[in-house]
Amino acid sequence: MVDEPLTIKLDHRRLKQFMVDLMVGAGASLPNAECAADIHVEADLRGVGGQGLDYLPYTLASLERNLIDGHAEPEIVHRSPAAAVIDGRRGPGQVAAVAAVGLAAELAAAAGSATVAVRNSTDIFMIGYYAELLARSGNVGIVMTSGPPLVHPHGGTERLLSTNPIAFGFPTSGPDPYVFDMATSAVASWRVRQAAYEGVE
């Protein structure tokens, strides 16, 4: 029999500050830590496991080992009227993704639509967050990301494919946009991690 998981109630503002303090201590700049913490906390508030506080130890370890450059600032390396490429410079993926969303909205306002790609990035986590930002700016947003091989193809036994998450955000006539966020695998990888954490087979 599996014991019930311990539940702790936290004020989300205090949780964010806790995360920011730890990330800054591990080597992130304050703006980068605040951006990353915003998205981790939002994931916890929405019940998206594996994307929030429970992922923090991995983020801290990556910062301490310099796998993530905590002070990196995204750089626009190509820009045209309706397309751009941002180099994440191996910084926190959330920072590069937020920069890409802002640039996409800016370009789309002038050109009608826009595509922004990000390279040399790290995990951007809950991609529905970015689709929602685009929708709240009055745009239809489509956000996609790649990842490591976690899924075996039909009939296969080796992990060859990413979960390849994709999210759509649409403005609505009401105060909140419609956001659809999914993995293309049968199950999102965070759900597998969550089940393992809870002792569910």
Burial 49-82 (b: 16+ CB within 10 A, else e): bbbbbbbbeebbebbeeeebbbebebeeeeeeee
The confidence score (pLDDT) of residue 48 equals 84
The confidence score (pLDDT) of residue 161 equals 86
| The amino acid at 84 | A
Tell me the pLDDT of the chain (201 aa) as tens digits: 556 667 778 899 999 999 999 999 999 999 999 999 999 999 999 988 788 898 899 999 999 999 999 999 999 999 999 999 999 999 999 999 999 999 999 999 999 999 999 999 999 999 999 999 999 999 999 999 988 888 888 888 898 888 889 999 999 999 999 999 998 877 766 667 667 667 777
Q: Is 88 in contact with 120 (CB distance < 8 Å)? A: yes
Query: Helices in the chain by DSSP H: which ranges?
Result: 12-25, 30-45, 56-64, 93-111, 128-136, 189-198
The confidence score (pLDDT) of residue 63 equals 98
Domain ranges for the chain:
12-198
How far apart (Å, rounded) are the C-alpha atoms in residues 27 and 30? 9
Determine the topology of domain 12-198 in CATH. Answer: Ribosomal Protein S8; Chain: A, domain 1 (3.30.1370)
Does the predicted model carry a pTM greater than 0.85? yes
